[in-house]
Structure 1
Amino acid sequence: MFSSTATITWLSGHDNIKTYRVPASRHRKCFCSECGSALPRDQVDNGLLIVPAGSLDSAIGIRPQAHICFASRAEWDAHLEDVPKLDGLPP
């Protein structure tokens, strides 16, 4: 279904990366121990590279390949194109 040839090459800050694993699950989260920012991580078992959108600092030229866990989404996650869009925080 998905294929990935992407790899992560850390230019700096590698020593600040921490990983939290949820016990008895496959879920893990990588983050910066200095600022708490979510960081990219690979999922070796299925060849995916997970990149939190908040960790990007430039535009990307690809679209998402899937809307995962769609069947268990929140009830309000429908027709979000009708929700007002704000360029910053609400007043």
Structure 2
Amino acid sequence: MKQVLGSCLCNRVTYACENNFSQFHLCHCTQCQKATGSAYAANLFTDVDNIKWLTGEALIMRFNVAGRSISNAFCGECGSAVPYKSLSGKALVVPAGSLDCEPNIQPQSQIFYTERAPWFDSVTVCKKFDSMPK
């Protein structure tokens, strides 16, 4: 299996893992909206041991949401999402946007869809630009 690389925004946290993701979900829960500052979190799932931290592991911060089995991990320097072990310890959750290349699978489902942002459904009809509009 091909190895893929990933990093945070400031590039101080870097990692490698095998490109053998088993699941890819877009999570619309309100906690993921808050954690990402966006409409959903795009998370890949793989074997819990499928990671090698290359740099910056000591910079990683973790937050566990009380009352729900939800966590997120982020670079303590730039705040961007990085991989973390699920609370159950059975999976490694990899934020898709942290990868430096394409994962081996496409999104399979949108979960907690009833909690989606009220404006989400209008996204498909928005104007599209290849860069910042002038």
The two structures have a TM-score, normalised by structure 2, of 0.53
For the residue of structure 2 that corresponds to 1:51, the secondary structure is: strand
Q: 1:41 aligns with which of 65, 81, 84?
A: 84
Deviations 1:36-86 (A, max 9, x none): 221112215274432223312122231012211112212332263322222
- Residue 5 of structure 1 is matched in structure 2 by 47
Asked whether the equivalents of residues 40 and 52 of structure 1 are also in contact (C-alpha less than 8 Å), the reply is yes
1:77 aligns with 120
Residues 75/33 of structure 1: CA separation in 2 closer, same or farther (3 Å cut): closer
Select the structure with the greater relative contact order (CA < 8 A; seq sep ≥ 6): 2
CA displacement, residues 7-34 of structure 1 (integer Å, 9 cap, x when unaligned): 2221221111111223333222111112
AA aligned opposite 2:105: I
Contact 2:86–2:92 under 8 Å retained in 1: yes
Q: Distance in 1 between matches of 2:130 and 2:91?
A: 31
Show the counterpart of 1:22. 65
5+ residue gaps, structure 1, are none
CA distance in 2, matches of 1:90, 1:19: 36
Distance in 2 of aligned mates of 1:73 and 1:37: 21
Give me the whole-angstrom Cα distance separating, in 1, the residues matched to 2:131 and 2:94. 23
- Larger-Rg structure: 1
Gaps of 5+ in 2: 1-22, 24-44
